[in-house]
């Protein structure tokens, strides 16, 4: 397994740098396999999604599509895959921000009875309560 940094993923999905994007595509599409997959840590995933949203201005639907592509790829392994899938569902359903949904899903899996927040938008997600 090979760990992937967020900048590799950003280049792959944004295609914003001709040389680096080409290298990322060759790596992910040609060199990673189900027997030798790329590993995406939860930190790399969160950074990637933040950059795609804030810098590249992807819409919620586009972000959900990127997440879906990562989840179904047989040559990628995502840390906390089940929680990422839960966050993806929240995005598709329009219930909240990816980061908040991911935090809530990981907290729930870790045994938290609730997630406290100051963010009123996060209250649309299950398990969030206003402090």
Look at residue 95 in the predicted model and tell me its pLDDT: 77
119: left (phi over 0), alpha (psi -120 to 50) or beta: beta
Checking if the pLDDT of 96 tops 80, the result is no
Name the helix (H) or strand (E) containing 39: strand 38-40
Mean pLDDT score, 60-87: 94
Contact 94, 64 (CB under 8 A): no
List Cβ neighbours of 100 (8 Å cut-off, separation of 6 or more).
117, 119, 121, 122, 125, 128
* Percent of the chain residues topping a pLDDT of 90: 84
Q: What average pLDDT is seen over the chain? A: 94
CA-CA distance, 113 to 63, in Å (whole number)? 28
Band of pLDDT at residue 4, cut at 50, 70 and 90: very high
Contact 8, 48 (CB under 8 A): no
Look at residue 46 in the predicted model and tell me its pLDDT: 95
Checking if the pLDDT of 117 tops 80, the result is yes
């Amino acid at each position: 397994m090979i760990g992937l940094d967020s900048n590799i993923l950003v280049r792959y999905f944004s295609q914003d740098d001709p040389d680096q994007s080409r290298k990322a595509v060759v790596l992910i599409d040609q060199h990673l396999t189900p027997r030798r997959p790329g590993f995406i840590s939860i930190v790399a995933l969160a950074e990637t999604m933040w950059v795609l949203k804030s810098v590249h201005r992807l819409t919620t639907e586009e972000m959900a599509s990127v997440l879906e592509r990562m989840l179904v790829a047989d040559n990628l392994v995502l840390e906390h895959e089940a929680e990422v899938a839960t966050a993806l569902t929240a995005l598709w359903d329009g219930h909240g921000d990816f980061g908040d949904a991911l935090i809530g899903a990981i907290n729930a899996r870790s045994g938290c009875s609730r997630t406290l927040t100051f963010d009123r938008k996060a209250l649309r997600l299950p398990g969030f309560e206003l402090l």
